[in-house]
Structure 1
Amino acid sequence: MDILLHESVRVFEPLWTVLPSSKAILPVLSKLYPSHPYLLASTFDEADVVPMFPKGYCAKPVMGRTGANVSIYNDRHELISATGGAWDKDNILFQELALLPQYDGKYVQVNCWAIDGRYGGTILRVDESNIIGGSSGMYAMRVVPDDDVALPQTPTNVTTTTD
């Protein structure tokens, strides 16, 4: 992060955005809310990996982006997938494994945003690899209120019988 403070570096995003975009908060949240349904258990301590993650885990760089330098380990703690990248010197975070769903041979990740406390948008990231990266397919979604959706009407000439 020191490079961001160098006078020859121009930052286009406010510097405060480094904090929420870092994964460093995840082990803290994991300790504060150990049973939260929307948080995966996380730790910085490699010695905690085996007891904390019996179903497998991911190793990720704290400041990594777009799937760079991510390693996935199975329930026997064997490497099953890994990527390279520019974050190989970064601090590593270990996180409980939550595999992405697969549809038609592709892994799918749903990304949602809130803006000012309200729904802001959704995209789908899709890849044949189980690690979504910068070159993974990206598909925007449009979500409309139910009132704006024309649902097919049930035909009036249909009768139902029960036996």
Structure 2
Amino acid sequence: MRRHMIEERPHWRATAETFGFRFADMYGAKYWDESAMFSFTLEEIEGSIEDPSRDLHQMCLELAGRAVGDARLLSRLGIPAAHHDYVSASWRNRAQEPSLYGRFDLAYDGTGPAKLLEYNADTPTGLYEAAVFQWLWLEDLLRSGALPPGTDQFNSIQEHLVERLCLMPQNAMLHIAGAVDNVEDGGTLSYLADCALQAGYRVKMLAMEDIGIDPVGRFTDLDDLVIERMFKLHPWEWMLAETFGQKLPHARCTFMEPPWKAMLSTKAILPLLWEMFPGHPNLLPAYFEDDPRAGELRDYARKPLFSREGENVTLVRRGRSETVPGHYGDGPFVVQAATHLFETRHGHAVIGSWMVGDEPCGMGIREDTSAITMNMSRFVPHIIAV
């Protein structure tokens, strides 16, 4: 794994606008950063990213299978008691309620095993730029001769998404719901809508607040059409806490992601995986904060069970502490041993390894000046060097 400074394409922002990448700049700063790239050998991709991601996914499924029917474990995973049966039933019916996608965030510097930082099993963003825009970047650089022929990228995300969606009922209506007016979430929703259209769906997009409930408890859209299948970019922990959460078990709606993904979209999996697979080379020691062993870690990250963009994470290393403010400080926390990220004078890099179904199929790299990846991180493209 190496970082290289390269020339930006002169008209990349116009290209971003043409292809609907309207959040290439965010928060008044550059988000997409092609002034650099990361390069990997094929052996690094296959042995240090792809294979560990497949193993971690299977370990997570084993954890979910163990948690079903175990009220203690479900509660530890942050599932409200009122929804234990709903989530468990979804897992048992997973042949009809398969997962769509997720993203493992990995620490890897090219010198040792990748380490799991967290699993974004539900509603991860960063999808469009990983699947589409960094591939367009690669094609442009190959055409211009800036990269040698045969240069590749670990990226078949779009093909896998469309293929996965093709496993679902054809010519069905799929409602795609979320914060459609948010530039980043809206971009992700639009991209998934395009993938669904390619897979043969009919698609309607709507905001979460526009979802209604009919007299028999089914969800409806603004045209009073019953919602039978929904992709929602709205985390399950929010769904289960909403006022309509009590209606979920009786709504007869098939969700992408299914309710059982709620068991894995929490940092509570970190100590539970460490308990199940102690010493695994791709895991870091991790404990619930109320576990006395958590106090024995000298360098560590303290993380809420549910948080995004690094909010309310505290990193303690070599006696120094850094905390990101946020909105997730009231819930339970886990404590995970700190590890080294790939670091240069430009920042710290985290690898996002994308899973579609049960297969790793691509990655995106975010770089931040902080060792805690936050909302100001930059997306830097990558290649597999020839």
Partner of 1:48: 293
Partner of 1:118: 359
Residues 25-54 of structure 1 show CA distances to partners (whole Å, capped at 9, x for unaligned) of 221111121110001111112532343x24
1:30 correspondence with 2:265: no
Code of the aligned partner of 1:59: R
1:66 offset after TM fit, Å?
1.8
Partner of 2:222: none
Secondary structure of the corresponding residue to residue 244 of structure 2: coil
Secondary structure of the corresponding residue to residue 282 of structure 2: coil
Higher relative contact order (CA 8 A, sep 6+): 2
Q: Work out the CA distance in 2 between the residues paired with 1:114 and 1:4.
A: 23
Q: Gaps spanning 5+ residues in structure 1: where?
A: 144-148, 152-163
1:122 offset after TM fit, Å?
0.6
Q: Work out the CA distance in 1 between the residues paired with 2:357 and 2:371.
A: 32
Q: Work out the CA distance in 2 between the residues paired with 1:18 and 1:65.
A: 15
Residue 309 of structure 2, aligned match among 63, 66, 73:
66
1:65 offset after TM fit, Å?
1.5
Whether contact under 8 Å (1:121, 1:142) holds in the other structure is no
Secondary structure of the corresponding residue to residue 122 of structure 1: strand
Residues 59-115 of structure 1 show CA distances to partners (whole Å, capped at 9, x for unaligned) of 00011122111001124xx44211011101111100011132212331111111232
Q: CA RMSD in A?
A: 2.7
Secondary structure of the corresponding residue to residue 39 of structure 1: coil
Partner of 1:21: 265
Code of the aligned partner of 2:305: V
Q: Gaps spanning 5+ residues in structure 2: where?
A: 1-78, 81-237, 249-254
Q: Work out the CA distance in 2 between the residues paired with 1:87 and 1:128.
A: 22
Code of the aligned partner of 2:244: E
Q: Work out the CA distance in 2 between the residues paired with 1:73 and 1:136.
A: 20
Partner of 2:71: none
Whether contact under 8 Å (1:124, 1:139) holds in the other structure is yes
Whether contact under 8 Å (1:109, 1:126) holds in the other structure is yes
Partner of 1:80: 321
Secondary structure of the corresponding residue to residue 7 of structure 1: helix
Partner of 2:244: 7
